[in-house]
């Protein structure tokens, strides 16, 4: 592991130390590594069409909004190939939260997320995406799962 020195003014260092403490980091190096990973992932994901990603889209909406549930279902069905699972939570008498786990081309995932969060009545939409490398596996076996020796795809987070 390589080491490097960073110079910060006192105010920025104090803010960074407070951030690190709030987030529960045991040392500055761990905090810097996570911030660098997040920044580099965001940059990679910002390049439209830059490979595959896994993602979590969460949003809150008022289920009384006219036709909103139907419109959200239509958008979801139009992108069923990206969706792994959806969690639906009733927050109160009016509001619901949905969390959708997605996987696919980054551009397609972003388009889906934009289509959902742009619907009138959807609030607090947020997409968290992680770039992955798509690897077709033909040469390893899942010994604890007989019959699962067929070629299949693994999505490994990029490092």
pLDDT at 74: 85
pLDDT at 73: 81
Residue ranges matching CATH 1.10.1220.10 in the chain: 10-46
Pick 52-136's CATH classification: 1.10.10.10, 3.30.70.1150, 3.40.640.10, 3.30.479.20.
3.30.70.1150
DSSP code string of 88-129: EEE-SSSEEEEEEEEEEEHHHHHHHHHHHHTSTTEEEEEEEE
- pLDDT bin (cut points 50, 70, 90) of residue 131 is confident
134 is written with which tokens? 């798509």
Is 80 among the annotated ligand-binding positions?
no
Is 96 among the annotated ligand-binding positions?
yes
- pLDDT bin (cut points 50, 70, 90) of residue 80 is confident
Confidence (pTM): 0.64
- pLDDT bin (cut points 50, 70, 90) of residue 48 is very low
Among residues 77, 78, 74, the alpha carbon closest in space to that of 119 is found at: 74
Give, in words, the CATH class of 10-46: mainly alpha
Is 77 among the annotated ligand-binding positions?
yes
Q: Mind listing the pLDDT tens digit for each residue in 28-42?
A: 998 898 888 777 776
Is 88 among the annotated ligand-binding positions?
yes
Residue with tokens 């999505």: 155
Residue ranges matching CATH 3.30.70.1150 in the chain: 52-136
């Amino acid at each position: 592991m390589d080491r490097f020195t960073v110079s910060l003014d006192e105010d920025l260092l104090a803010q960074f130390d407070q951030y690190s403490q709030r987030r529960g980091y045991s040392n500055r190096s761990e905090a810097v590594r996570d911030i660098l990973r997040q920044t580099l992932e965001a940059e990679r994901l910002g390049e439209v069409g830059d490979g595959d990603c896994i993602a979590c889209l969460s949003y809150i909406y008022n289920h009384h909004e006219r036709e909103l549930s139907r419109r959200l279902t239509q958008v979801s069905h139009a992108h069923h190939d990206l969706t792994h699972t959806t969690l639906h939570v009733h927050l109160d008498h009016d509001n619901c939260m949905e969390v959708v786990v997605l996987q696919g081309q980054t551009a397609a995932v972003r388009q889906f997320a934009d289509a959902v969060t742009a619907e009138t009545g959807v609030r607090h939409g947020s997409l968290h995406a992680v770039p992955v490398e798509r690897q077709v596996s033909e040469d390893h076996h899942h010994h604890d799962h007989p019959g699962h020796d067929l070629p299949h795809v693994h999505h490994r987070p990029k490092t």
